[in-house]
Amino acid sequence: GAVVSQHPSRVICKSGTSVKIECRSLDFQATTMFWYRQFPKQSLMLMATSNEGSKATYEQGVEKDKFLINHASLTLSTLTVTSAHPEDSSFYICSARVPGNSRQPQHFGDGTRLSIL
Amino acid sequence: GDSVTQMEGPVTLSEEAFLTINCTYTATGYPSLFWYVQYPGEGLQLLLKATKADDKGSNKGFEATYRKETTSFHLEKGSVQVSDSAVYFCALMNSGAGSYQLTFGKGTKLSVIP
């Protein structure tokens, strides 16, 4: 089945650092990927929709300059948290849409736990 | 816009107890409905789905029926196990908008104790 790999699974870094998270579709081409942020008490928030070869579409309230999304190929989307601060600490999850798969609209990565000290 | 409301957790049950997690939705058109499960420290996995009214999705002993008249998609399992402890998300997709975005409920944490 379709597999989405997310890396790293966990990152701990100092305040002010920029952190890049990768989301790869391993056995299919994903024209569309999604980035979510999961808050405490499990609420899942869609941050942006990433389309290969074009600018990402951000949800209302998400800072584009803070959360940079690049979808340069059909198998890779990256989320860069720029100048991260403690309030950016969260669990970030990506997913990819499998074209033509009506049984399962999105396949999810295993998430990245980001901790900013 | 579309929205999903699911029962607040956490839910704690003894092993072999009956489980119901309520989910209702608001959407235009005819959305597809899903239940996802998230085990600790992991991403989301599709548990089951239904694409039209009266469809029943089932997997691993879990069931949910798409009820258009009550706009509901309640998750049930007759006998839960400790390994079912996880967070469960109800979701809908309104592909009529062409975006294939999922709209999630807030999740319900289930803990099953021996």
Three-state SS string across chain A, please? CCCEEEECCEEEECCCCCEEEEEEECCCCCCEEEEEEECHHHCEEEEEEEECCCCCEECCCCCCCCEEEEEEECCEEEEEECCCCHHHCEEEEEEEECCCCCCCCEEECCCEEEEEC
Average pLDDT over chain A reads: 90
Percent of chain A with pLDDT over 70: 96
Identity of the residue in A41, A43, A105 whose CB atom sits nearest the CB atom of B93: A105
Residue bearing tokens 């997709």: B93
Q: What is the mean pLDDT of residues A104-111?
A: 88
Identity of the residue in B93, B101, B106 whose CB atom sits nearest the CB atom of A42: B106
Q: What is the pLDDT of residue B59?
A: 96
Q: What is the pLDDT of residue B30?
A: 84
Mutation for B interface: A21, A34, A42, most B CBs within 10 A: A42
pLDDT digits (tens, 9 = 90+) for A57-74: 999 999 999 999 999 889
Q: Test A42 with B100 for CB contact under 8 angstroms.
A: no
Q: What is the pLDDT of residue B99?
A: 67
pLDDT digits (tens, 9 = 90+) for B27-68: 988 899 999 999 988 889 999 999 999 999 999 999 999 999
Confidence of residue A11 (pLDDT cuts 50, 70, 90): very high
Interface of chain A toward chain B, CB-CB under 8 angstroms: 4, 6, 32, 34, 41-44, 46, 49, 93, 95, 97, 102-106, 108-111, 113
Q: Test A109 with B99 for CB contact under 8 angstroms.
A: no
Residue B79's SS3 state is coil
